[in-house]
């Protein structure tokens, strides 16, 4: 069976894409096999899963630009069941180098299709996108079945999200008819902050059940975990942040079952 491929995308930085990709993946990996592709040159997903900068000899740049085999680039993480293709330092150049390549927006889709043998043992492939709507993110959207959009509840959140949803619509029409907005995850929610609640209500009013019921609270343990090279689920399982991601994974799987029944 082919894995389900999900992109974690939002052109804004610092909204919780990487944190959500890492921790949802870790929670799912308890009984699924998950591969995380770090497509952000900043490499936060790699660092957050314990692959330090000096150890990133070959990763997603080697995959996307140099034509290296996926199987050679996959590494284990501290979470059993979760594997990663890290972001190698050269990835920063990929955005420009891709411009000159044939089928530049379909590279990743083609590579993953050709690696279907390697991917057959995985249930999910998560694509952690950079904070832009450039060629790397476009490659992720063309390769993906669905998009999860992490959204920080702050002023202008709705404007920000309309940009990514318009991009998803455009990619679906022009390049990848499979692509769907899978869901919106509200991150760094502060219940003591009225604005946070107001924005959350606005987003729910507009995007209805696309928005996950489960929200991720702002929690210092979540922000500490990456400096230990661990998902917050392994760093402090009892923290509110870790528990929110456990709940998010349960809701994710419930939605997956509903989606499969409906298809």
User: In the structure encoding, which two tokens stand for residue 158, read together?
Assistant: 């709705």
Which residue, 162 or 223, is less far from ligand ADP as judged by CB?
223
User: In the structure encoding, which two tokens stand for residue 98, read together?
Assistant: 């891709």
Residue numbers 195-234 binding Mg ion by CB under 5 A: none
- Which of 3, 5, 7, 16 binds ligand ADP (CB under 6 A)? It is 16
Q: How far is the CB of 186 from ligand ADP (least distance, A)?
A: 10
Which residue, 15 or 148, is less far from ligand ADP as judged by CB?
15
**HSE, side-chain direction, 13 A CA sphere, residue 121:** 6
H-run or E-run covering 195 = helix 194-207
Which residue, 131 or 160, is less far from ligand ADP as judged by CB?
131
Which residue, 44 or 187, is less far from Mg ion as judged by CB?
44
- Establish if 18 lies at the interface with Mg ion (CB under 5 A): yes
In angstroms, rounded to a whole number, what is the distance separating the alpha carbons of residues 170 and 47? 32
Are the beta carbons of 260 and 233 closer than 8 angstroms?
Answer: no
Which residue pairs from 159-167 have beta carbons closer than 8 angstroms and sit at least 24 positions apart in sequence?
A: 160/10, 160/11, 160/12, 161/10, 161/203, 161/207, 163/11, 163/133, 164/9, 164/10, 164/11, 164/133, 167/11, 167/133, 167/141
- Which of 226, 230, 231, 252 binds ligand ADP (CB under 6 A)? It is 226
- Establish if 167 lies at the interface with ligand ADP (CB under 6 A): no
In angstroms, rounded to a whole number, what is the distance separating the alpha carbons of residues 66 and 76? 22
- Establish if 12 lies at the interface with Mg ion (CB under 5 A): no
Total binding residues for ligand ADP by CB under 6 A? 18
CA angle, 37 then 110 then 36, to 5°: 10
- Choose the binding region for Mg ion from 43-51, 63-71, 108-116, 148-156 (rule: CB under 5 A): 43-51
Residue numbers 203-222 binding ligand ADP by CB under 6 A: 216, 218-219, 222
Q: How far is CA 13 from CA 91, 115, 235, in A?
A: 17, 30, 23
In angstroms, rounded to a whole number, what is the distance separating the alpha carbons of residues 172 and 177? 5
Which residue, 119 or 138, is less far from ligand ADP as judged by CB?
138
Are the beta carbons of 130 and 37 closer than 8 angstroms?
Answer: no
- Establish if 44 lies at the interface with Mg ion (CB under 5 A): yes
- Establish if 17 lies at the interface with Mg ion (CB under 5 A): yes
The entry of ligand ADP, Mg ion, none near residue 152 (CB within 5 to 8 angstroms by kind) is: none
Binding site for Mg ion (CB under 5 A): 17-18, 40, 44
- Which residue ranges make up the site for ligand ADP (CB under 6 A)? 13-19, 44, 131, 187-188, 216, 218-219, 222-223, 226, 241
């Amino acid at each position: 069976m082919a894995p389900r491929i999900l992109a974690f995308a939002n052109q804004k930085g610092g909204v919780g894409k990487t944190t959500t990709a890492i921790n949802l993946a870790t929670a799912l990996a308890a009984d699924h096999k998950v591969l995380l592709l770090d497509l952000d040159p900043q490499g936060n997903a790699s660092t957050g899963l314990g692959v330090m900068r000096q150890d990133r000899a070959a990763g997603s740049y080697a995959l996307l630009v140099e034509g290296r085999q996926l199987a050679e680039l996959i590494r284990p993480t501290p979470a059993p069941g979760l594997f990663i293709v890290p972001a190698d330092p050269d990835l920063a150049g990929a955005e420009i180098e891709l411009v000159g390549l044939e089928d530049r927006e379909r590279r990743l889709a083609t590579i993953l299709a050709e690696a279907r043998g390697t991917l057959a043992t995985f249930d999910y492939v998560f694509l952690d996108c950079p904070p832009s709507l450039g060629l790397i993110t476009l490659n992720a959207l063309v390769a993906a079945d669905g998009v999860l959009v992490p959204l920080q509840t702050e002023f202008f959140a709705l404007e920000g999200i309309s940009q990514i949803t318009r991009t998803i619509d455009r990619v679906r029409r022009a390049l990848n008819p499979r692509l769907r907005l899978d869901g919106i995850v509200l991150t760094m929610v502060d219940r003591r902050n009225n604005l946070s609640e107001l924005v959350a209500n606005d987003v729910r009013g507009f995007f209805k059940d696309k928005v996950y019921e489960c929200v991720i609270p702002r929690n210092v343990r979540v922000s500490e975990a990456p400096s230990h090279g661990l998902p917050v689920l392994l760093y402090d399982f009892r923290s509110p942040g870790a528990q929110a991601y456990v709940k998010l994974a349960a809701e994710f799987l419930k939605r997956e079952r509903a989606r499969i029944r409906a298809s």
